[in-house]
Amino acid sequence: MGTPQLEFDSDVEGRIYRYVERHGSATREEVRDEVRVEETAGAKPPRSGTESPARLPVAEFNEYIDDLLESGPLTERDGRLYVEPDEETEIHETDGFEYVVRPADEDDREAIAARIREVADEGAIVVDERVADAIEQEGALIRLNERESRMFFVAEIRPAGGESAGDESEDRESEREIVGWVHVHGFELPARSHTAELTVGVAPEYRENGIGGTLLERGISWGDDEDCIKVYQSLPATNDAALDMLDEHGWEREATRADHYEVEGELVDEVQMAKRLDGE
């Protein structure tokens, strides 16, 4: 799978980005304390290989941050820096409500993990328990670096009547609800760098509204943009609804592993599904 072609105007900007990306978010002071420079031009680095103890002057450091904010890799809100995926928010309507599909951010971590575990508890998408563990334990929800691509999009119910620019009151924010997600994860190994694992799920009360299909296509589109040739996922054979949805969206059944899962005390086959993105 293609990884982001990260280009920065300086080594310092690259190190700032990588620190924020690795940790999910950070304050300016946290980053400034970690991203240090040599005190004397041309000085040898310490024998340990760590950075020398000199912090950048505040004004100079803030210039680097402002450049990153202006050029797009990072965003800042409530005093913290975050990675800013270059992805748009899409508005969708059903007969009963409106929802948006947008890139996830670090504030969504708890809600996404809860939704994943809710679906996993049904025995529907067993592999997602591992995804939930990963996003709860690791430093960042989204990974966009030279070695790894991991992206989440979420479906979010918005307050009735839509929301205009600048209308971000706490009451309206509290009415938002994440009802589904799609997760796309690329691999570092060269032999599998053209593939990505995709999982998708929707809260039970919001199914049969097309949300799952919308999320699925958004995840596939992102993988295609990242030069991925093939996306795949594995499901229990008992998850008829998910298998039917994948069939409808052009996925193919590549293999079946007998008795691969135990769901509610019963042995269940695993169905391995995949979709080619290169037209083959």
Residue 92, amino acid: H
Does the structure show a pLDDT above 80 at 269? yes
Q: Per CATH, the architecture of 11-83 is what?
A: Orthogonal Bundle (1.10)
**What is the C-alpha to C-alpha distance for residues 5 and 157, in angstroms, rounded to an integer?**
33
Computed over its alpha carbons, how large is the radius of gyration of the chain? 21
3-state SS, residue 200: strand
CA 116 – CA 59 distance, rounded (Å) = 43
41 pLDDT higher than 60: no
Strand pairing report for 143-144 and 195-202: unpaired
Residue 27 CA: distances (Å) to CA of 22, 50, 63, 79, 145 = 13, 21, 15, 6, 20
Contact partners, residue 191, CB within 8 Å, separation at least 6:
none
Which pLDDT band, with edges at 50, 70 and 90, does 227 fall under?
Answer: confident
Bridge partner residues of 185 (DSSP): 150, 197
Q: What is the pLDDT of residues 49-72, one digit of tens each?
A: 554 578 999 999 999 999 999 998
Distance, CA of 17 to CA of 10 (rounded, Å): 11
- What's the rounded Cα separation, in Å, for the pair 109 and 136? 7
Q: CATH number of the domain at 90-276, out of 3.40.50.2300, 3.30.70.20, 3.40.630.30, 3.40.190.10?
A: 3.40.630.30
* Tokens representing residue 190 in the block: 């060269």
pLDDT digit string, tens, across residues 144-163:
887 778 899 999 997 655 44
- Mean pLDDT check: name the lowest of 64-68, 112-116, 136-140, 188-192: 188-192
Domain range list for the chain: 11-83, 90-276
Residues 6+ apart with CB under 8 A from 151: 85, 103, 142, 144, 183, 184, 185, 219, 222
